[in-house]
Amino acid sequence: MPGRRVLRLATAALLLGASSLAIAHGHDDQHMDMGGEMHGGNGSSSALWYDGTPITDRPRSYFSLSEHAGLMYLHILFMVVGWVVVLPVGLMFSIARSRYTLPAQALFLALNGLGLLLGVIYDRSTPDLYENNTHGKIGWAITWIASAWVLMGVVNLYTSRAKAQVPGKLSAAVMAQYHRLQQIQAENANSSRWSNDSGHGTERNTASLYDSSRSPSLGSEDHQFSEAQQSPDHADDDEDEEVDGEKQGFLRNTKVDRFLSRNLPKLASGPTLATVRFFYVAIERTIILLGFAGIATGAVVYGGIARGNAVFNILAHFVKGGIFFWYGLLTLGRWMGCFADLGWAWNIKPAKEIVGRRKAAIPSAEFTESFVIWLYGASNVFLEHLASWGGKWTPQDLEHVSISIMFFGGGALGMLIESRKIRDLLNTTISTSDNDTAHDGEAWQPPKTYRVPLNPMPGLIILLLGIMMGSHHQASMLSTMIHKQWGTLFVGFSMARALTYILLYLSPPTSYLPARPPTELITSFCLIAGGLIFIESNKDTVALLGSYNLDAMFTFTVTMGFTALLMAWTTFVLAIKGWAVRRESPISTMSSFPQHSAGTLA
């Protein structure tokens, strides 16, 4: 079931970091001086790290290394431009099946290759300040994955082009349709009348003239016949099928193009081609997450943090903060209209006759949110004491277990609210007579508010989480202030989401098109910024900020500016996708909402 696939993906995302959450959060408390500041925050030679060791005894980091710093800056520049600027545009072109897909992918590989080369040169020119780090391994892995993705895109392009150039056999229905078209044209040639009441006995615009009533004119009939002649399987093609190769202008009529046209269709066909397309789509949907992992590990290695047992605290903050970060981007995508055919864009969910059975079976966004919350609580309630297994329970352990129980119960209630069966059972509270006429009339119709999920539980759980973590005892005043920042942002998310529900309750959506409530821009901003500050609130980063005499306002202002810029860029990238779709299919996009106008991100 497609719905189960969504739940399995959410399960995998949570279980990835579940084993480290308890280890990371159970023992954040360090001693504070009378002023509330942690020793080691002034950057002096006598300053101490949070674990009590002098900062001067800490291993050096690449951040503090001045030799060959220019190479590192160029490495960062090329990687950020490639993975944050060029790759998202290439993904949108690929999803839109645009002719610009391969040029964008080639530019991305070039930038990534230059960045990789600079990184190798820098690594060979400097001492190894972070032994056995994961950034290099992850970087090489995602580079090979990205290269394979582009290669599979080339295979898809040339096999689709070869298929489009092979004339197919015409079905009996298409031949009958064509002969009927010729008969109509011959009759009209003998008659000077083109009115609907032509005297031929069959009106031109009736469904009896054609096999399908979706063809109201001779022009569309000609178009249907020509399409059938070029590709008889066009009507059965999957939505991920590549468009006609004639639209792809990259490498056209060159020696490389002719070589690939002759050989690739022979190498990839049948099951092999199906496997290539499956992995191409799978990488297309996940490569941006791999890039996020590469950038995150690069920041960790460059800053020299997450050494020894501190890796658990870093991992917990990066996993949980990353979930909120991507949750914010998903919320922004919902506002822009992504996933409208799933009913996730604050619109009426289209029926299966419009979007198909697979998409119609996917649960609501609020159900998915509630399931993720429930799963976190169900798994983490048994892991909060792992860091001190067999030892004494501390008040902090009990606090974290209580939070997990809150997630478990709140998520379960949220899923029950989204269940149509539960809602139907709750509607049996009204007692009526056995007279069937008593159930007639508008008063027995479902309320208009049923058209869109109005589920406050995900927002309420995150609201309480923000309040709890904003007032949670930390090792230093700096750490307390940073935790207060992302806790307040989560409270802001919940308030904005509540305003969204109020707007939709007062004026329920009546269209399949995205409603775009303005309050959802605030919710996405708070989630993205809150997730980033959540990541920054790990113990090593806080201690590093203190050692450079940086206060909490530094992290807040930098994160706010980056969040605003990222949201603007994300909106522009999605607009590029719409432009690419219209450029490739200018007629169909103006007349077909289910396929293009709202659509999904995929």
pLDDT tens by residue, 305-343: 998 888 888 998 999 999 999 999 999 999 999 999 999
Is residue 486's pLDDT more than 70? Answer: yes
Rounded to whole angstroms, the Cα distance separating 570 from 331 reads 12
Give yes or no for residue 47 having a pLDDT over 70. Answer: no
Q: Region 28-45: what's the mean pLDDT? A: 40
- In whole numbers, what is the pLDDT of the chain averaged over residues? 78
Q: Where is average pLDDT lowest: 175-184, 190-199, 431-440, 446-455? A: 190-199
Please give the share of the chain, as a percent, with pLDDT higher than 70.
Answer: 66
Residue in 296, 294, 292 with CA at minimum distance from that of residue 315:
296
pLDDT (0 to 100) of residue 173: 53
Query: Helix (H, G, I), strand (E, B), or coil: what is residue 54?
Result: strand
Q: Are 328 and 526 in contact (CB under 8 A)?
A: yes
According to the model, what pLDDT value does residue 312 have?
A: 87
pLDDT at position 255: 73
Domain-embedded: residue 112: yes
The model's pLDDT over 135-163, given as tens digits with 9 standing for 90+, comes to 999 999 999 999 999 999 888 887 776 66
- The pair of structure tokens assigned to 357 is 């059975």
For 189-247, the pLDDT digits (tens) are 555 444 444 444 444 444 333 343 333 333 333 433 344 344 444 444 444 444 444 44
**Is residue 39 in some structural domain?**
no
pLDDT band at 272 (very low <50, low <70, confident <90, very high): confident
| pLDDT score at 21 | 40
User: 135, 466, 478: which is closest to 298 by C-alpha?
Assistant: 135
Residue 538 lies in a domain: no
Q: Looking at residue 63, what DSSP letter applies?
A: G
Span 567-584, average pLDDT: 94
* Per-residue pLDDT band at 42 (split at 50, 70, 90): very low
Q: With pLDDT > 90 as the criterion, what percentage of the chain qualifies?
A: 48
- 8 A C-beta contact, residue 93 and residue 104: yes
User: Is 133 inside any structural domain?
Assistant: yes
> By residue range, what is the domain housing residue 286?
61-168+242-304
Angstrom distance (rounded) from CA 323 to CA 13: 8
In the numeric block, which tokens belong to residue 293? 């992992």
| Phi/psi of residue 54, nearest 5 degrees | -65, 145
Residue 430: per-residue pLDDT:
66
Does the residue 453 lie in any domain? no
pLDDT of 119 above 90: yes
Q: Kindly tell me the sign of the dihedral angle through the C-alpha atoms of 591, 593, 598, 602.
A: negative
458 belongs to a structural domain: no
- Helix and strand tally (H, E) in the chain? 21, 0
pLDDT of residue 600: 45
Q: How far is it, in rounded angstroms, from Cα 116 to Cα 366? A: 41
Domain for residue 108, yes or no? yes
Lowest mean pLDDT among 121-130, 171-180, 407-416, 454-463: 171-180
In the chain, the number of structural domains is: 1
More confident of the two residues 36 and 55 = 55
The answer to whether position 257 is within a domain reads yes
Q: What is the pLDDT of residue 344?
A: 94
